[in-house]
Structure 1
Amino acid sequence: MNKTAPPPGKVNLRTPEVMSLVQAEVERHYRSPLVEYLQGTGGCLSAGGLTVRLAKAFGFCYGVERAIDLAYATTKVFRGRRIFLLGEIIHNPEVNDQLTALGIQRLQEHEGESDLDNLHASDVVIVPAFGAQVKTMARIAQIGCQIVDTTCGDVMTVWKRVRQYRREGVTSIIHGKAWHEETKATASRAVGEDGSGHYLVVYDLAETDVVCEYIRRGGNKEEFLRKFQGAMSPAFDPDIHLQFVGVANQTTMMRGETEEVQRRIRRAIADRYGSEKLPEHFRFFDTICGATQERQDALREMLDRQKLDLLIVVGGYNSSNTSHLAEMGESRLPTYFLKNAEKIISNAQIQHWDLHKGCEVITDHWLPEENVEIGITAGASCPNNLIEETIRRLYELREVNVAAMLPLHRD
């Protein structure tokens, strides 16, 4: 293989010719006439003692659609060249498997970092919607690969904020999951290439309270550093780097929780330095993804307005925004988090992800025998065809042919 290539530059992947091919292929793989029909008729389907209700907002967001479009376009524009993807394009196994079927190779991870050693200058590398760490991007550019960057605009907005914090000497306190690709990418911008900045990742309100207590009163530094090992910048010193802080977030976290993180840290800073000194010690910007919030709001509205017997959440198990939808459901009614329709085994059994155990479990007697009303939602990385398959499977259990109920046909 030729291991060299012309110097990479900006390539317009979204020409009308390319996008017409991409659109046809994407629709063939992910479109659902059934879901589109339900969206246009109130989102409700009822037959055989089973009523299914779709949340008003669910499934693919613009950022995910754009990332998938660019990945498909890459296979059209760079035919004959090796194409690699950093990890997963989005957190949905079916979508990632589909890209593999198109010839896109996945760069394997070792200890949380992609293996770049086998890349050549002639290769094309797709950066996923979550973005990538600064050092990873620099290494790919050094090799000379053509980069196709699908990073979501909402994620880049967070990067802009933490870079601003760094320039001002502000420590970024990031509400997120330290192991998540997006948070890793954001944290790398908080530090910067010169290593001048600092960050601390807090996962939940319990960890936030630990930080707040240290801000107010100090404490055992060694114990603090052990607790947040792997979730803070190199040489992080809580005695120094918690004096001037700015809150940011992983875009797919729960808005209410991020706002509470912000409120608690703000109060702790005010308690330590006085309210009049807040501008000298605290910063905050709202960087929750609009699509994430829209799906959370739509689910909340459905749970408030409809008398549901249970909720099904469809999506990848490692999808942060999908997991939060499942958490919302769990707090209100029986909720089953499925990656696809195959997990609906029978009327008697369903296989689903247990958020607390971190694994799949099987629940017996999950579906009531009499009239039942089921709510369905899906994360921003879930395609409509998986939602359709879930609906069809539910009606199969009641021996109802969905196709016979609706004025639909597949081309």
Structure 2
Amino acid sequence: MPAVPTQPQKINLRTPQVMSVVQAQVESHYRSPLVEFLRASGHRLSAGGITVILAKAFGFCYGVERAIDLAYAAAKVFQGKRIFLLGEIIHNPEVNDQLTAMGIERLREVEGRYDLSGLTRDDVVIIPAFGAEIQTMHRIQEIGCQVVDTTCGDVMTVWKRVRQYRRENFTSIIHGKAWHEETKATASRAVCEDGGGHYLVVYDLEETDYVCDYIRYGGNKEEFLRKFEGAVSPGFDPDRHLERVGVANQTTMMRGETEEVQRRIQRAIEDRYGKENLSQHFRSFDTICGATQERQDALEELLRHEKLDLLIVVGGYNSSNTSHLAEMGVSRLPTYFIKNAEKLLSPQRILHWDLSKRQEVITEDWLPDQEVTIGITAGASCPNNVIEETIRRLYEFRGIRVDSLIPKTWPIKAL
């Protein structure tokens, strides 16, 4: 085996000098005086027959802010070096496009793996907020690249949990999306390089019930493996590896659904092995991201206590936490999941993401021409300026400039 290159010296990117420049740059790109005004004045704005109500929690979370800060800091500190990003820093197109404009190149996946073939030890690689598979991390270290790791602390908490399951010889059942970068990174830490340790990813309650039936009664192994192709560890055997299980989750899933996944699997284990033997066969731990839950709770409060005519959810279409916010609205009122204000084509037409069809669709006559109350929320990866542009566009449909609605005494200058 070739010798592993000496690892680059760790560099503190978050020095006061660097961060003062970075924060000014980040603010110039993503700050919104309008959103700040709404936060300070009850989250509500009314004019021209349109009332906009912002959820009390929305937009960037701490983990996203930290990831962006580190990426901007890397661009400043490592000027003159090639800087690469594994895929996307977060799931928001505006932010990722901004990093590209700053000269940070994106490494693309080829057949489910990032193409690292062009990297050299003189390069810098940024790890995104949702982390990276352990095999990818090892390969980058072998090359000897300078690594800027922006992995969210909540994600690393889940990694700690599945490693513990692995050490105790428990299979990790991960409630998440098998194709999502975070879940792939978590799953890679549920197994050992020598093949020890196993995982199974379940997407929803239907898949969970299938697994529970198998735990209780057994079943057709080949059918099971076909159903969960791409969502199980190499060598996974449901007849052996569902005897001792620990539940974990992708941090951006719906808390209520994850809790139900845990309850159903626990009941299945109790039915199979007896309640008195539960501790020998079952583990669980709450690893839902606090910011994700805060945004879900805030939207639930908005939906319950305000009489809304429609809901707009703003954020990247591949953002898991944003998709779940849209799911919360869809069954209760007209809900439009948009990437940015450009999707508000006119008062008659809106281009939005259909969760069931997994594609953009156009809805006609979406905005009532009488008085209307619109709820707005955004995922944890959506910057405030994108939310502002959405609000501005809504009022432009009624011929109103939002700037005119802000008191001249408001302390923040020019909107």
TM-score exceeds 0.5:
yes
State the Cα deviation string for residues 91-120 of structure 1 (Å, max 9, x = none): 000000000000000001112211000000
Partner of 1:342 in structure 2? 342
The residue correspondences of 1:282-361 to structure 2 (distance < 5 A) are 282-361=282-361
Partner of 2:399 in structure 1? 399
Partner letter of residue 72 of structure 2? Answer: Y
Partner of 1:365 in structure 2? 365
Aligned equivalents of 1:193, 1:130: Cα separation in 2 = 21
Does residue 409 of the first structure (1) align with residue 406 of the second (2)? Answer: no
Aligned equivalents of 1:15, 1:294: Cα separation in 2 = 30
Shift of 1:289: 0.1
Shift of 1:344: 0.2
Partner letter of residue 90 of structure 1? Answer: I
Partner letter of residue 242 of structure 2? Answer: L
State the Cα deviation string for residues 325-367 of structure 1 (Å, max 9, x = none): 0000101100000000000000100000000000000000000
Aligned equivalents of 1:352, 1:123: Cα separation in 2 = 39
Aligned equivalents of 1:195, 1:296: Cα separation in 2 = 38
- Using the size of structure 2 for normalisation, the TM-score is 0.97
Shift of 1:192: 2.6
Aligned equivalents of 2:370, 2:97: Cα separation in 1 = 38
* RMSD over equivalenced CA pairs, Å: 1.0
* SS, match of residue 336 in structure 1: strand
Shift of 1:409: 3.3
Shift of 1:194: 2.5
Partner of 1:247 in structure 2? 247
Shift of 1:314: 0.2
Aligned equivalents of 2:323, 2:211: Cα separation in 1 = 25
Contact 1:163 1:192 in 2 (8 A): no
Partner letter of residue 33 of structure 1? Answer: P
- Using the size of structure 1 for normalisation, the TM-score is 0.98
Shift of 1:130: 0.4
* SS, match of residue 345 in structure 1: coil
Aligned equivalents of 1:46, 1:6: Cα separation in 2 = 60
Aligned equivalents of 2:114, 2:10: Cα separation in 1 = 23
Partner of 2:384 in structure 1? 384
State the Cα deviation string for residues 296-339 of structure 1 (Å, max 9, x = none): 00000000000000000000000000000000010110000000
Partner of 2:103 in structure 1? 103
Does residue 143 of the first structure (1) align with residue 150 of the second (2)? Answer: no
Partner of 1:163 in structure 2? 163
Does residue 11 of the first structure (1) align with residue 11 of the second (2)? Answer: yes
With 400-409 and 203-212 compared, the bigger mean Cα shift is at 400-409
Task: Report the identity percentage.
Answer: 76
Partner letter of residue 315 of structure 2? Answer: G
State the Cα deviation string for residues 173-211 of structure 1 (Å, max 9, x = none): 000000000000000000132321100000000000000
* SS, match of residue 191 in structure 1: coil
Does residue 258 of the first structure (1) align with residue 262 of the second (2)? Answer: no
Aligned equivalents of 1:169, 1:38: Cα separation in 2 = 51
Does residue 212 of the first structure (1) align with residue 212 of the second (2)? Answer: yes
The residue correspondences of 1:17-36 to structure 2 (distance < 5 A) are 17-36=17-36
With 180-189 and 108-117 compared, the bigger mean Cα shift is at 108-117
Partner letter of residue 150 of structure 1? Answer: T
State the Cα deviation string for residues 74-106 of structure 1 (Å, max 9, x = none): 011111000000000000000000000000000
Partner of 2:48 in structure 1? 48
* SS, match of residue 295 in structure 2: helix
Shift of 1:58: 0.1
Aligned equivalents of 2:177, 2:391: Cα separation in 1 = 32
* SS, match of residue 298 in structure 1: helix
Partner of 1:172 in structure 2? 172
Partner of 1:186 in structure 2? 186
Aligned equivalents of 1:184, 1:6: Cα separation in 2 = 28
Partner letter of residue 413 of structure 2? Answer: H
* SS, match of residue 394 in structure 2: helix
Aligned equivalents of 2:188, 2:262: Cα separation in 1 = 21
Q: Which runs of 5+ in 1 are unaligned?
A: none
Shift of 1:71: 0.0
Partner letter of residue 158 of structure 1? Answer: V
Q: Which runs of 5+ in 2 are unaligned?
A: none
Shift of 1:290: 0.1
Shift of 1:7: 4.1
> What count of residue pairs does the alignment treat as equivalent?
407
